[in-house]
Amino acid sequence: RDRDVTGVQTCALPISMPAWTLPELLVVMILSGLIFLALSEATDLVGRFTGYLTERWVRTEGELSACHRLDELISRTDSIAVQDAGLQLYCRDTSLAVLQVSDSLLCCDYRNRKDTLLCCVEKMMLRGDTLILQLCLPQGKIRYRWNIHKTVWP
């Protein structure tokens, strides 16, 4: 050891911290509260936005699923007959399904099982060998088209 060093060493860290005055402490508490409120509002906003995206995804997925099921149904048919109530789909000369629009719903009677494929259907048209469904959604009107390439009976 060095004989010249006496008392407390000068390189040691101070043990005490400076004290805050009451106004400084109040400012820090108010700022902490404002940051907490902003973060809780942001968390709530993110939750609502996530819910909106989930609802939108489910709605879009439902439409895609219905279009896929309709596409699969049409691909199984070999001929289509136009009726007053809608379209009669045939496979190997036996009735496969009936498609009709009722109260803006596209209903399918598939082998005596009724199902609603799409909602907000404004029109179902058959032009030549193209089936056209016109939907009236809040975003606007959408048209789905299927090229059937099947025998169409009037």
CA 109 vs CA 25, 73, 116: distances in Å: 73, 11, 9
**Is the pLDDT assigned to residue 20 strictly greater than 80?**
no
**pLDDT tens digits, residue range 74-108?**
788 888 888 877 888 888 777 788 888 888 888 88
Are 98 and 108 contacting, i.e. CB atoms less than 8 angstroms apart? yes
Question: Residue 149 — left, alpha, or beta (φ > 0 → left; ψ -120 to 50 → alpha)?
Answer: left
**pLDDT tens digits, residue range 102-135?**
888 888 888 778 888 888 888 888 887 788 888 8
Instruction: Look at residue 38 and give its three-state secondary structure.
Output: helix
pTM of the full predicted structure?
Answer: 0.52
**Which pLDDT belongs to residue 116?**
82
Q: Which one-letter DSSP state was computed for residue 86?
A: S
**Which pLDDT belongs to residue 3?**
59
**Is the pLDDT assigned to residue 1 strictly greater than 60?**
no
Are 74 and 89 contacting, i.e. CB atoms less than 8 angstroms apart? yes
